Amino acid sequence: LKEIYEGHGKNPDTVNQLVNVPGLDLINDLALELSVADAALFALVIYENPDVLFVMAAGNSTEDNDQTLPSPIYLSQFFPNMITIASHGTSGAISDFSCYGATSVQLAAMGENVHSALLSGIEGEESGTSMASPSVAGVAALIRANHPKLKAADVRRILEATAKPEA
């Protein structure tokens, strides 16, 4: 695979030029290989920046991220400086659309009908884990602002330890 990425990168338009690559089924394996390449890149960035807390949205496809390994969301189970956020509604229950995972999703935040800025200065309501994760990032930033000597992993532990259990 190293030779494939060196010669072609992630450009699917040129991958069909490969011939005689043992063990590679281009039609069935390309999406997985690109996902693994993305995960490896994210893992490297996360590893090389241990004092940055990476806050990721869990996804909106109602999947168990522990099982599907969507790149790079599941990496939070391996890195103490990354946290993955699901969505919940006003009742506190996980949103119907939100991905979840006992080990790969650490917290949930309000992600339903969040007042948002849309295109061209229009405002409206949006839902999704991408609406939930900025709230957690904001709380993490406040913790770091008030306690600048804390490490990213410490902030994650504080967030997890002080979160309210699911309703």
Q: Which amino acid is at 109?
A: A
- 8 A C-beta contact, residue 129 and residue 86: yes
pLDDT tens digits for range 101-144: 999 999 999 999 999 998 888 999 999 999 999 999 999 999 99
Instruction: Read off the pLDDT of residues 66-89 as tens digits, 9 standing for 90 and up.
Output: 887 656 788 899 999 999 999 999
When mean pLDDT is compared across 35-44, 55-64, 88-97, 107-116, the lowest value belongs to 35-44
What phi and psi values does residue 12 have, to the nearest 5 degrees? -65, -20
How are beta strands 82-88 and 107-110 bridged, if at all?
Answer: parallel
Question: Does residue 11 have a pLDDT over 60?
Answer: no
Q: Is the pTM of this model over 0.95?
A: no
Label residue 41 by pLDDT band (50, 70, 90).
confident
Please provide the size of the chain in residues.
167
Q: Which two structure tokens, joined as six digits, stand for 110? A: 């309000």
- pLDDT score of 18 more than 70: no
Answer whether residue 6 shows pLDDT above 70: no
Quote the percentage of the chain above a pLDDT of 90. 60
Q: Within a 13 Å sphere around the CA of 10, how many CA atoms are in the beta-carbon half?
A: 9
Average pLDDT, the chain: 83
145's tokens: 């602002």
Place of tokens 């494939």: 4
Residue 55: strand, helix, or coil: strand
Kindly tell me if the per-residue pLDDT of 17 is higher than 80: no
